[in-house]
Amino acid sequence: MGAGIVIPAILLTCICASAVQAQDTVPTSVSAPNSKLTQALATPVRSSTGETIPLKVPKGTAVQVVLDKEVRIQKVGQPIHGLVAEPVYAFDKLVVPVGTGVTGQITQLEGVSAVKRTLDVLNAEFTPARQVQVEFDDLELTGGQHIPIHTTVTVGSGQVVQFIAAADDAKKQGVKDAASQKADQAKQEAKRQWDDAMKQVHEPGKIHKIEKYAVAQLPVHPQYIDAGTVYFAELVEPLDFGVELLTPEIAASINTPPPSGSSVHVRLMTGLSSATAENGEDVEAVLSQPLFDGTRLVLPEGSRLKGSVVQVRPARRFGRNGQLRMAFHELVLPDGIEQKVQASLEGIQSGKEQDVKLDSEGGAEANTPKTRYLATGIAVALAFASSHTDSDGGAGSTSGTTGGRVAGGVGGFKLVGIFIGAFVHSQPLGMAMGAYGAGMSIYSHFIARGHDLVFPKNTAMEIGIGMRASRTSPSSSEAKHVNVEN
């Protein structure tokens, strides 16, 4: 009986001792003020020196590729070459610098609808522009190292873009505090960085541009992709650049608020259009570059800004263009911690054709070029010239002069119109072509809907950021009210 009690007791004692020993052998992690950071970074690798952070460029990151040379479109499979226009970071390390070579190819030449083809033919355009699909598959780093990549190009990219800085507030033109001066410097620095990146592009000279424009007026002509065209190439698979040591200093610095007057580079996570956006619609952006205060890391790449659309107006008739205004009010760190912020749009990438302007409060509006007055004036003058008549034989018999008929053809149907006007002796036909051209010019420039403002997904933005006094559990409606005031 006694042995039956003693033996189980001995076994129980051994099991408890083994459990205690197993707990003692578990390695102790490096203590960091921000303990959630390592969990959010996909379980950092443990090394003999402590915790390490994986330097990975995640799936979905957009690499901005600018074509460095003009491309004449010939066929599917045609190779294309570009350069990285914006640096790529992993956490706090630069892994793909500006100027890195990128190669790809044309993957598809889309067809043209029958309606568009008919309208183009009526306007003497027998080779209408086709949508071109491309992809990029190789990065060439410094030293000749090649990294294969698999990408998809963001819808809406593939245009020549420029960096637009917000206008200065007239009230701030006097004496500025240190934070305002720092914000202005950051805005100008962002513009300078973009201009430096674009200096890599081999833009054609003025003579080539004139020749290309003249060829484009012909009924049959080649199609080109302009030098300076920017594509947002999203990574389908992540890129791995190893690891770095997570020091207590790095972890501690991420808990500190950004200095007053700070500015961050971000990418828009969802596309926005003044035609479809609604007031209160959520907007999110991700930091594409880390924020440093001197050498101290404040915000790593991958931190997010959350906000909303606070004002939107779609394009309307009589040439009134679309408007958009967004505000960011929340900063989300990689460890998931959220902080309230005050943020304003200081600069944004935009297609040159949109001619966007930003006001001092970050509101964006498509700007109508003043050349519409000149273009319409020329069209009306050509229509008037086409109505000029002179005597041609008997009394009451008139026909349009060759010059008048040709003028009508130029205004209405380009080179085809010129040919018809020169060889078809019909003044009414010349007048009709001229009137058509003038009417279309007036309608498109002054009566038709204006241009909507469109920012594709992955559009680069410069955001001025500062901390806001914390409040207990603010409601979404309160947050949006504060944004409108900001």
pLDDT in tens, 211-260: 887 788 777 889 999 999 999 999 999 999 998 888 887 777 776 777 77
CB-based burial of residue 259 (10 Å sphere; 0-12 exposed, 13-18 middle, 19+ buried)?
middle
The residue among 152 and 486 whose pLDDT is bigger is 152
d(Cα 183, Cα 289) in Å, to the nearest integer?
Answer: 17
Helix (H, G, I), strand (E, B) or coil at 340: strand
CA of 11: how far to CAs of 14, 16, 25, in Å?
A: 5, 9, 22
396 has pLDDT over 60: no
Residue 151 near residue 136 (C-beta atoms within 8 A):
yes
Q: What is the pLDDT of residue 397?
A: 44
Q: What is the pLDDT of residue 216?
A: 80
Q: Give the strand pairing for 282-287 and 239-245.
A: unpaired
d(Cα 256, Cα 80) in Å, to the nearest integer?
Answer: 44
For 435-447, what is each residue's pLDDT tens digit? Answer: 777 777 777 777 7
The residue among 78 and 471 whose pLDDT is bigger is 78
The residue among 461 and 474 whose pLDDT is bigger is 461
Banded pLDDT at 188 (limits 50, 70, 90):
confident
**What is the length of the chain?**
486
Banded pLDDT at 373 (limits 50, 70, 90):
low
> Nearest CA to 93 among 60, 59, 56?
56
For 263-321, what is each residue's pLDDT tens digit? Answer: 899 999 988 998 899 999 999 999 999 998 888 888 889 899 999 999 888 988 887 88
Beta strands in 314-442 (DSSP E): 323-332, 338-351, 356-358, 364-366, 389-391, 398-400
Q: Beta-carbon neighbour count of residue 67 at 10 Å? A: 25
For 190-216, what is each residue's pLDDT tens digit? Answer: 778 878 888 888 777 778 888 887 788
Helix, strand, coil percent content, the chain, rounded in steps of 5:
30, 35, 35
Chain center to CA of 163: 10
50 has pLDDT over 60: yes
Residue 59 near residue 76 (C-beta atoms within 8 A):
no
H or E stretch at 65: strand 62-67
Beta strands in 314-372 (DSSP E): 323-332, 338-351, 356-358, 364-366
> Which of 8-12, 262-266, 319-323 reaches the highest mean pLDDT?
262-266
CA of 257: how far to CAs of 190, 205, 232, 262, 292, in Å?
A: 22, 48, 31, 10, 11
Q: What is the pLDDT of residue 46?
A: 44
Residue 321 near residue 451 (C-beta atoms within 8 A):
yes
H or E stretch at 479: helix 476-485
When pLDDT is averaged across residues 367-381 and rounded to a whole number, the result is 68
CA of 354: how far to CAs of 169, 196, 201, 450, 455, in Å?
A: 23, 22, 21, 11, 10
Domains identified in the chain and CATH numbers: 55-169+179-245+258-368+451-485 (2.40.128.260), 371-447 (no CATH)
79 has pLDDT over 90: yes
Q: Please give the share of the chain, as a percent, with pLDDT higher than 70.
A: 68
Q: What is the pLDDT of residue 61?
A: 94
CB-based burial of residue 281 (10 Å sphere; 0-12 exposed, 13-18 middle, 19+ buried)?
middle
d(Cα 239, Cα 61) in Å, to the nearest integer?
Answer: 10
Q: Give the predicted TM-score (pTM) of the model.
A: 0.73
Q: What is the pLDDT of residue 98?
A: 93
Residue 64 near residue 70 (C-beta atoms within 8 A):
no
Residue 186 near residue 462 (C-beta atoms within 8 A):
yes
Mean pLDDT lowest among 10-19, 179-188, 324-333, 339-348: 10-19
Banded pLDDT at 423 (limits 50, 70, 90):
low
* Phi and psi torsions of 469, nearest 5°: -60, 130
Q: How many CA atoms lie within 13 A of 424 on its CB side?
A: 17
